[in-house]
A and B are shown apart, each in its own frame.
Chain A
Amino acid sequence: MKRQKTVYEAAIDHGFTRRDFLKMCTALAATLGLEYTQSDKVVKAMETNTRVPVIWMQFQDCTGCSESFIRSSQPKTESVLLDMISLEYSEVLSAPSGFQVESSMEQVYKDYKGEYIIAVEGSIPDDDSFLSVGGKSAKDTFIKMAEGAKAIIAYGSCSSWGGVAAAYPNPTGAKPITAHVKNTPVILVPGCPPIAEVMTGVIAYIITFGKFPELDHLGRPTSFYRHRIHDKCNRRAYFDAGLFVENFDDEGAKQGYCLYKVGCKGPTTYNSCAEMRWNGGVSYPIQSGNPCIGCSEKGFWDNGPFFERRAKIPGTQTTINPDEVGLAALGLTAAGIAVHAAGTVVKKKKDDKRGEEE
């Protein structure tokens, strides 16, 4: 097995000073949600841990996850890419292409079996004819690489839940990658795309501690997915007050009222947008006036129109306006009752008459 440079060595090679390195470790500790006193743990890990070989695989995706990843501000994408990991294969970032890059995937499989990490973007179709990369079935390549991996990171909602490609009627038979993983541990980092700092933060945690961060019941890191957008939303005060945007061009929209009535999915969406925000903490959809579409939630693509509040009929991919349907059902029932009541009276009158005659 080849030896990789440690993260510290790699950083120094890239022109970091020791001071820069320590700063990076402290900031990283903060991103990972560690206490300040624990930042020396991060330093120790970075000094001794070698860079981890990473294969970045793309299936039925839009490359949005890669786009997000390369915009991380803390930890900086460069320091993740150049110092912490050794990115051996990536459709977007690898310098070589064609046979050359495909063979480097083979090489990693041989040299670092049980050591390397796979990052996956995109869903995998059941039918191979929908997706082959380098002339080979993408599913087969993934299954083989997954077996030899130490861990798998599912970046984005496609690899985590199936994503837009799996939207009804799901013509390609798109499935989340977990459908094809047997024994390798998988961490889900859903979002369309996930927040850059969450993406780099997860990988940095794995490299620092050599294990996954704490996961929730769906396999997502709790530190980033434990809160609903609604619970941390900057517009929440307007929700509680009862001040709602009714239309995107009304006064409420200008005032920054709550977007609940224009379909905000914040109350059912787990993600850290409201806390970490996007683009280095500049803003996030709700802050800039767009309701949350729930992009990190399983099945969000089939949860009805983005700008309407609806309810899903459990077990189906159909959503309805529950209050409209409910009122209609109530009306029908009332009409039925009126008819039944009339029938009851008529029948009783008849029966009473017969009783008197007897």
Chain B
Amino acid sequence: MSDLMPNLPNQTPNYYTPETNSEASFHPERPIKYKPVNESVKVYVWELPVRIFHWVNMLAIILLMITGVYIGKPFASASIPEEAYYSNLMGWMRYIHFFAAFLFTVNLLFRLYWVFKGNKFSTSNPLRWVFWKEVFQTIKFYLFLKNKKPHYIGHNPLAQLSYWIFIGLGSWIVMLTGFYMYTEPQHASFWGKLFSWVPYIFGGDSYTIRSWHHLAAWGFMLFTLIHVYMAFRDDYLERNGSISSMLTGYKVEPKKLVGGKDEK
């Protein structure tokens, strides 16, 4: 529990300027928690539930990717030929896929709850003009162009946007189409009825729904690759412990970012 809500100084700085950037002016009622370390502070960024979500999500997605690709294109066959009786290879793949899918779903629903419960780094609001201005600056930053991208403790707006697209939208596409396929053998059951509306958004027939699922799955794989690269890159450039922060929760940041006085 101590890890969940660490007892850190969090007095709201009196000279805090809401104009600084989209992060500083975001949810001022959810103050940033940090620990001073010489010139820098150790900021508590990723709360324990967020970290647990992150790694459970990773595990689920890896399982889903491997088993999902197998389901789509069975790249291995059962080792005992002729009789179906002795093997259950596809059966197991589907079983693991569905197990991971439930894990993925429960995990994501929990994370949605934490958006309301957690600190300011656990949520995002793209409906602010400054958000999009900073997305633009961040894009310039990634293209090595001259930019006015401020430094962020949490995710930069472009990263937040990518989470909206892949975790926000992508997850719902795979979940809805996935659960629809899952209930296809029993449309008349309770669970079948629960997802009976899915074809109306994804376009009628079963083949199209399956196609959505398969394409969105590849979207996840692309995202994973870029996401991992970005995390390592950030760690390399900022030396702020981006990678380890997803384990410990803390990032080392200059004091002025959390509103503290710069001693220099």
Which A positions have Cβ atoms within 8 angstroms of B?
A: 216-218, 222, 226-228, 231, 237-244, 251-252, 255, 260-261, 265, 267-270, 294, 297-300, 303, 309, 311-315, 319, 322-323, 325-326, 329-330, 333-334, 337, 340-341, 343-344, 347-348
Given contacts A313-B215, A333-B222, contact A323 B185 (CB under 8 A): no
Which B positions have Cβ atoms within 8 angstroms of A?
A: 69, 72-74, 76-78, 81-82, 84-91, 93-94, 142, 144, 184-185, 187-188, 196, 199, 202-208, 210-212, 214-215, 217-218, 221-222, 225-226, 229, 233, 236-237
Closest to B184 in A: A228
Rounded to whole angstroms, the CA-CA distance of A326 and B229 in the bound complex is: 18
Contact call A251/B81, Cβ cutoff below 8 A: yes
Rounded to whole angstroms, the CA-CA distance of A206 and B91 in the bound complex is: 41
Shortest A222–chain B CB gap in Å is 8
Contact call A309/B90, Cβ cutoff below 8 A: no
Closest to B69 in A: A323
Contact among A252, A337, A343 for B229, CB-based, below 8 A = A337
Main secondary structure of the interface of B (DSSP, over half): helix
Given contacts A241-B90, A260-B74, A323-B72, contact A269 B214 (CB under 8 A): no
Given contacts A265-B207, A314-B208, contact A348 B236 (CB under 8 A): yes
Contact call B185/A228, Cβ cutoff below 8 A: yes
A-B residue pairs in contact (CB < 8 Å), sample of 24:
A222-B188, A226-B187, A238-B84, A240-B88, A241-B88, A241-B90, A242-B88, A243-B77, A243-B81, A244-B77, A251-B81, A267-B206, A268-B205, A268-B206, A268-B210, A297-B205, A299-B207, A300-B207, A303-B207, A322-B214, A322-B218, A323-B73, A344-B233, A344-B236
Shortest A330–chain B CB gap in Å is 6
Main secondary structure of the interface of A (DSSP, over half): helix
Rounded to whole angstroms, the CA-CA distance of A269 and B212 in the bound complex is: 16
Closest to B185 in A: A231
Extra contacts, 6 of them, besides A322-B218, A337-B225 (Cβ < 8 A), are A231-B184, A261-B73, A270-B206, A299-B205, A313-B211, A323-B73
Given contacts A243-B78, A330-B225, A348-B237, contact A217 B215 (CB under 8 A): no
Q: Which 4 pairs across A and B sit closest by C-beta, in order of nearness? A: A242-B89, A326-B218, A237-B84, A311-B211
Closest to A265 in B: B207
Contact among A239, A314, A341 for B211, CB-based, below 8 A = A314
Rounded to whole angstroms, the CA-CA distance of A299 and B211 in the bound complex is: 13
Shortest B55–chain A CB gap in Å is 23
Contact among A218, A231, A297, A323 for B207, CB-based, below 8 A = A297
B72 / chain A contacts, CB cutoff of 8 Å: 309, 322-323
B221 / chain A contacts, CB cutoff of 8 Å: 326, 330
Closest to A329 in B: B222
Contact call B199/A217, Cβ cutoff below 8 A: yes
Rounded to whole angstroms, the CA-CA distance of A240 and B88 in the bound complex is: 5
Shortest A75–chain B CB gap in Å is 26
Shortest A252–chain B CB gap in Å is 8
Contact among B86, B185, B202 for A314, CB-based, below 8 A = B202
B73 / chain A contacts, CB cutoff of 8 Å: 261, 309, 323
Closest to A231 in B: B185
Contact among B184, B202, B222, B229 for A330, CB-based, below 8 A = B222
Contact call B87/A242, Cβ cutoff below 8 A: yes
Rounded to whole angstroms, the CA-CA distance of A326 and B84 in the bound complex is: 31
Rounded to whole angstroms, the CA-CA distance of A222 and B187 in the bound complex is: 10
Contact call A242/B184, Cβ cutoff below 8 A: no
Shortest B46–chain A CB gap in Å is 24
B237 / chain A contacts, CB cutoff of 8 Å: 344, 348
Contact call A341/B203, Cβ cutoff below 8 A: no
Contact among B86, B188, B199, B225 for A333, CB-based, below 8 A = B225
B236 / chain A contacts, CB cutoff of 8 Å: 344, 348
Rounded to whole angstroms, the CA-CA distance of A330 and B228 in the bound complex is: 13
Closest to A254 in B: B82
Task: Give the one of B76, B203, B215 with max A CB within 10 A.
Answer: B215
Contact among B78, B144, B204, B211 for A242, CB-based, below 8 A = B78
Rounded to whole angstroms, the CA-CA distance of A309 and B207 in the bound complex is: 11
Given contacts A309-B72, A312-B211, contact A334 B225 (CB under 8 A): yes
Shortest B89–chain A CB gap in Å is 3
A298 / chain B contacts, CB cutoff of 8 Å: 204-205
B196 / chain A contacts, CB cutoff of 8 Å: 217
A217 / chain B contacts, CB cutoff of 8 Å: 196, 199
Contact call A255/B88, Cβ cutoff below 8 A: no
A260 / chain B contacts, CB cutoff of 8 Å: 74
B214 / chain A contacts, CB cutoff of 8 Å: 311, 322
Rounded to whole angstroms, the CA-CA distance of A222 and B196 in the bound complex is: 14
B211 / chain A contacts, CB cutoff of 8 Å: 311-314, 319, 322
Shortest B205–chain A CB gap in Å is 5
